[in-house]
Chains A and B, each alone.
Chain A
Amino acid sequence: MENNNGLKIRRWVQIGSAAVGNGYLKGFKTSSIYQGPLKNGCVPFLNCYSCPGALFSCPIGAMQATISEAGGKFDLNAIPLLVIGFLSLVGSLVGRAVCGWACPFGFIQDLLNKIPSKKFAGWKWLKYLKYTILIIFVFLLPAFMVDEFDMGAPSFCKFICPAGTLEGGIPLTLMKPDLRNQLGVLFSWKMSFLVAILALAVFFKRPFCRWFCPLGAFYGPFNKISLKQIGIDKDACVKCGKCSKVCPMSLNVPEEINSCDCIRCFDCKAECPTKAIK
């Protein structure tokens, strides 16, 4: 019962945050994007600001936009203090809970994993890929790979982000023929990556969050120091394995309870028969 209630609350929060983050319905009707003052602020999760419904900016997009001002050289003024501060504040309070409770793309992967099929744990070493993506595609390439006007590009958005393809690319190209006419190799690559992630999500729990997401990589280390901690009473634990079985990040919960990959969903806590997880 508690498990069901906990899960239901999380599902409703996920639906609510997706609706609030993408609540500009007029954008879908008029094939445009919101241009009002709310976009001065970021949501704490991955949410493409080119989605017709997006009311706020995406923190990863905002970081790259600031860093790309560096113009190919090291420039202190291009360090995105505001967004780094905002994400650090969220991380210091609740660790990676945003991934578990608020991210629409995480929610989609959760739903896809409900499709009955054989499930796989995946490869542990792949989790380090997301840190590489954060450093190379979010920090380094936008700063140092510049065009003829000395402007960097949002390399993560451009080459990888499947949330951008899903929330921005697909609706906008469906609604705007002038954009559709410009589609090429890059869009094909991004669509292939999106389809691959969505297909993988049926068989692996949250493949994008575990292996590719730079925002998860940013939040992850805050799990170690966040105000909201999760712990396990090793004496009360009967090693039944139920917690690990329900973990949406495929963690071995008793051993990895405060690891950088825990998304603080508390599904394990609700499932624990001896209430060992606190």
Chain B
Amino acid sequence: MKGWLERLRRTAESSSRRRRMEAEMAEEFDFHIERETEELIRSGMGAEEARRQAVLRFGGVERHREAGRDARRARWAEDLVRDLRFSGRTLARDPGFAAVAVVAIALGVGASTAIFSVVNQVILRPLPFAEPDRLVMIWEKNPEKGWERETAAPANFLDLREQVAAFQDVAAYEDFPIRSVLTGDGEPTVVGVASVTGNFFDVLGVPAALGRTFRWEETWSGGPSVALLSHATWRDRFGGDPAVLGKSVVLDGQPHEVVGVMPEGLDFPGGASELWVTAGWDAESRSAAWFRRAHWVRPVGRLHPEVSIEEANGQIAAVMAGLEERFPATNRLMGAGATPLQRFIVGDTRTALLVVLAAVGLLLLLACVNVGNLLLVRAMGRGREVALRGALGAGRLRLARQMVVEGAALAAAGGAVGLLLGWGAARILEAFQPPGLMAPGPITLDGRVLLFALTVTAASGILFGLIPALWSARAAPADALREGGRSGASRAARRATGTLVVLEVALALLLVAGAGLLVRSFERLQAVDPGFEAAGVAAMTVVAPGARYDSAEKRAAFFQELVRRVEALPGVRGAAAVAQLPLTSVSWTSDFTVDGWGERYGSSVAHRAVSGDYFGTMRVPVLGGRTFTGDERAEGPLVVVINETMARRFFPDEDPVGKRVVYDQQAGPESTWRTIIGVVGTERQAGRLAAEPMPEIYEPFPQEPRARMTLVARTAGDPGALLPALRGLLKEIEPTTAPHDLRVMTDVYDDASARERFFMGVLLAFAAIALALSLMGVYGVTAQAARQRTREIGVRVALGARTGDVLRLVAGQGAVLVLAGMALGLAALLVAGRATSALLYQTEPTDPLTLVAVSLILGGTGLAAALVPALRARRVEPTVALRAE
């Protein structure tokens, strides 16, 4: 901004400087001539004659002036100002053209700025921690269980922390979303809580804004429970009062002492961390097998300075190999590795975003080619003017520069509008971002984004300014004048516009095909059977407050009462409770073996406790045997229901009903046996519809009691209307708590494909813009050609050509360009299409149906764009056409 004003000031100054310079030059010349005259008079010449001689000797004043100006270097700036003024005038004379060009550039710059701002926020911006480059995420893997980048077992984490020398320290957080009810003054509210080890913030290098962070000892239970507040929670709930330190907050009935407030904006582990508590593990668990068998922590390590991640990975592998030897029961084939923290957080979003960035790059290129082509087409129309100016002595460079200046003026205007568009688009992207796609925090137009927008604008300005400039520098004036007399443009220029249109159509085809593939992929995703009927179901997640429901029996009674009361609500057709809603996440998995399998066992089977008529309420079909009656008791007999995936994978040729299972690799004398009583349809478990379903075991609630359950209620009417009633009911039964989550099942279902819908929306927007731009190109070139051939058409019509002939003549050329562009685009798609597979679900980048549909859309609209000027040309009156020009 400042640079702009400065330039403006200097331009104004240079013009006043120029005026002064001219005056001084004149005075200097006058002085010279007078002195010369005096000298001649002194040598005896007559006054009149002396004056004449002096002027003669001095030579042409004008010529000297010009040479003087050149020497003064004022010329360049002066010409630039004149070029700018000229550009302004010509653009103002054709506001339609200027508007189209500015909009095209603005769309290109805007779209790319918006996408770049997301890339900047997700991939480029460093994490808000001290020396984030030294932070790594440690994960576990197990080929047998199909684990890759999985959570770690806490015992393994502790061993890695103590034995891997590459790390200065390793902390961990518990990787499941915790929401707790915060009670105290006023209504109980639900807050997002992160549970971490005591050294968590020391490893991240984030000090408390107020008070202190946790200490390592506080990782373990025994001491007083402590909590840290997020800045926002402190401000909104505690009025920003520093006296909050040392106060007690009650989370799910448990008092915690507030020891500190974290700095503003800190939200890690991601999601909605409003409070941090310590893991509070029992120190005795450390030697227990389950502490090494269950996986739920995410260790974050800080490397020693100058230590590479490869070195750390080598040491981790060695430690894990040692653990496998010592603990074969839990650590068989268990490996681990480390990834830079930022890389890990971004995950596979990175690939998807880079694909979108590439797509927006194509869009920008298309916009540039389009504007360049428009300028060139217009320059062809101005062929005579250009040639005339050339013949009158305007240098070639000067003429080319005129084009570049015009391009730059358009680019500046387009860039400014584009930046605004980009800002708006970034807000839209932010509003529609699927959960978990982006790192938390607002998308901002920071310096890097502004620099990007500026660079993109400048580069595009040069690119499309250069296109007509190159051509106009190449055309010899004589040719242009001769051709200009009749048909305007040189053959070279016409070939150039044709090539550009082919390029435009090819680029548009790539983008439309990209969007088409995503639509197709989304369609396939929507066809995925989630295994339940989402419509008509409301869901409320509730945690039984630990202080009041301290036994399995009390919790069972609480949820049974809740289900019973919900069932009695008017309009409710059925209700049940489940430990984890489908399409959200998997709560826990285990190995298992079956009576009679011997050494054989299965891995990674998911578990879920259900209560009441869950399968009936969710309309999960029963495929064999029976489901739970509701009379199951904790003491047995222990029964389970399995899903279809499990039945097919592990019991392909036999009936699983009646078989007995143990949740372990090998059964022992201590094993708890459970009997399979039925098989139900497979519900998709993971939070993404695209994820493969897992084999799963359902347990009746009394035999697998949990404190956190989700109530599901099916209603005949609008489930959204049921939500307030559910909330009210909970308050009535248990006033000290509040719903952790309350929503309709169709929202859960939509969230599971939100990511795909998001990328589809983005690419559809790109495709629409691309299609519009390329049509503009086809139309512009065909219309220009038709105008130039008006006379020829007139002659033909006069000689008896029919409408069809004229249409073929005019539209034919456009059609050839469109077809050539489509061929080029399809060829490019076959080569580059692979790149989109990161965004696709069960869809090949060469999906024939998509390719045909895209070709039809592009071909159809392209031909239509070529046909419009042809239809106009058809109405040419021979007499008018012949008189034209």
Are A and B genuine complex partners? no
